[in-house]
Amino acid sequence: MNQDLQKERAAASFNPELLTHVLDGSPENTRRRREIENMILSDPDLQHEDLNFLSRSQRYEVAVKKSATTVKKIREFGLADPDEILWFKNFVQRGHPGPLDLHVGMFLPTLLHQATEEQQERFFMPAWNFKIIGTYAQTEMGHGTHLRGLETTATYDPATEEFILNSPTVTSIKWWPGGLGKTSNHAIVLAQLITQGKCYGLHAFIVPIREQGTHKPLPGITVGDIGPKFGYDEMDNGYLKMDNYRIPRENMLMKYAQVKPDGTYVKPLSNKLTYGTMVFIRSFLVGEAARCLSKACTIAIRYSAVRHQSELRPDEPEPQILDYQTQQYKLFPFLATAYAFQFVGAYIKETYHRINENIRQGDLSGLPELRALTAGLKAFTSWTANAAIEACRMACGGHGYSHCSGLPNIYVNFTPTCTFEGENTVMMLQTARFLMKSYNQVHSGKLVCGMVSYLNDLPSQRIQPQQVAAWPTVADINSPDSLIEAYRLRASSLVEIAAKNLQTEMSHRKSKEAAWNLTSIDLVRASEAHCHYVVVKLFAEKLHQIQERSIHAVLRNLCLLYALYGISQNSGDFLQGSIMTESQVTHVNERVKELLMAIRPEAVALVDAFDFQDVTLGSVLGRYDGNVYENMFEWAKKSPLNKTEVHESYHKHLKSLQSKL
């Protein structure tokens, strides 16, 4: 064990194991998760070589093998609980996407929630048993997040009781679905439904795309892989073109909307129910942002404790780079963010399941806020984590650039979340629609509930219009509850600014759509402020559930750092809204520095509490034992370029060049 890491762990004021239990939800969850991880570590069928040294085709093949083995092992071990299956899958895949991810994460849930009982019998069990392997084909070459703009058509033919699917333009070719390129034999295709000469908008269809047994594309189907990307080398993101391709009427998912044999359209109770799968994935991505950021912080903080560089005082040994205030300022706010997102991820998962259960019982009242919250938090957490992971990589200096650090892989595999399942700016605008609707409800005399209930107390709603008093009456920057209030005031202020600017643009005889576009910067800022408030609120409220004093103390410091760092980064909002004075902002900046010092002795123990095994991190720099340099040398020796002392290119090209000179 590296001596620096030994000292760091000995200096911590709390037991990381107790904090791991908080993150996992209970000591029993921690015990069971580790049991599953150890089962995998001891299974020779689940060990694979370092992906960094493989070609893309090899990486895809390893991923297919790993995915197929995972399915077999989950059955062999008798795992049925969704959380346990997720732990198993995450530990085997080690942060890399798998070709069956969309089958498990989107195809099966869509069948579960949108197929009729008859369709579930026909498709769900074969899909559960992997006779059918499916993907979710929504995005097209020319349209992604703007669903109404999708061009693929499904035209009903009552004479044969079939839908005819077409990709009428080059931009309508389905583009990007994971697992489509080479893995899947079915796809849930989103297409514009046309029946009796009328278009009824987007609906989902189960479309066979490859022949069972041979896996060859069916007639009328053109399908393949879209080629190398920024990351995701293991995933066969694909294209799909359909030419007058016929499927039976019964292949339209008909739990909510239906087309009768004669072509009559029966509309659903709510057209929002069609998008349930995306809401599920967005809620999952909030947790994924927490996981990936936690990994990056673990690597960067452990390495910063091991790495010695430069000098703080002349003639003294080189200090750990974690002793530099600038390094702490780079990393500790993101460590606090990782913890905040862990708690937000758990909350949103629980909220999704609760509201989904209500929907099953016919209560759709929670759906609008769920959609707004998952859209906004998906954008807020993925933008933040994306920038933070890259900051962690850069905080590791030159070695962070090497794949041996594990950080490039975390970054390239996480960054697509800013785009998929809804491009982030569009997601923020979707949240803004809900905020504007809630704001208008309050102005018409109705009370709103849930996370937007703060709008019931807007300054403009009071009988006597008044300037919002500067914050001294409630200002206590050492009180998480007081900081929730500051973020609440900021959110309500920015929502009100956006709403008033929108009204102003509309009063200038602008159409609603033009006014929306001309106010969209304000609307996104309002959504970001709303999401920031939600995160601070959930983190602060989590503290009330922590009984153990040492854990409460360290989490309280992280919560304060998260909230105060956010104020320092957005001080203009707090000053402009008269929420804080200049001297208070100065005090906030000073308090941030004090918190960096308070967290410094706890930092390594705080990342240990995330409880990532070395194989999960895939990082020489972030090893638990801290033996970085000897292992970096061993890793480099494994490069395929080192298989021969002299590379064949020397004899082919360099030798003749040198002889001519």
Q: Round to whole Å and give the CA distance between 300 and 607.
A: 10
The verdict on residue 125 lying in a domain is no
* pLDDT at 466 (0 to 100): 43
User: What burial letters (b/e) apply to 112-134, b meaning 16+ CB within 10 Å?
Assistant: bbbbeeebbebbbeebeebebbb
Catalytic site residue 211? no
Q: Round to whole Å and give the CA distance between 102 and 137.
A: 10
The verdict on residue 3 lying in a domain is no
Element (H, E) at 204: strand 198-208
- List pLDDT tens digits, range 1-14: 999 999 999 999 99
From 602, 627, 644, the end of a domain falls on 602
The verdict on residue 493 lying in a domain is yes
Token pair of 109 as six digits:
């849930």
pTM listed for this prediction: 0.92
The verdict on residue 58 lying in a domain is no
Q: Residue 172's domain spans which residues? A: 133-268
Q: Of 369, 421, 528, 602, which is the active-site residue?
A: 421
* Three-class SS state of 240: strand
* pLDDT at 463 (0 to 100): 38
From 562, 583, 602, the end of a domain falls on 602
* pLDDT at 364 (0 to 100): 83
The verdict on residue 69 lying in a domain is no
Query: How confident is the chain (661 residues) per 10-residue block, as mean pLDDT?
Result: 96 97 96 94 88 92 93 90 88 90 92 92 93 96 89 98 98 97 97 97 96 96 96 95 98 95 90 68 91 98 96 89 97 98 95 86 86 96 98 97 96 94 94 97 92 84 44 72 95 96 91 94 98 98 96 98 98 92 94 98 98 95 97 95 94 87 58
* pLDDT at 467 (0 to 100): 45
Give the DSSP per-residue string, 537-584.
HHHHHHHTT---HHHHHHHHHHHHHHHHHHHHHTHHHHHHTTSS-HHH
Indicate the number of domains in the chain.
Answer: 2
The verdict on residue 110 lying in a domain is no
Question: In 240-275, where does DSSP find H-type helix?
Answer: none
Question: Is 477 in contact with 588 (CB distance < 8 Å)?
Answer: yes
From 253, 268, 283, the end of a domain falls on 268
* Three-class SS state of 192: strand
The verdict on residue 206 lying in a domain is yes
Query: Binding residue per annotation — 406?
Result: no
The amino acid at residue 51 is: L
Query: Binding residue per annotation — 153?
Result: no
The verdict on residue 535 lying in a domain is yes
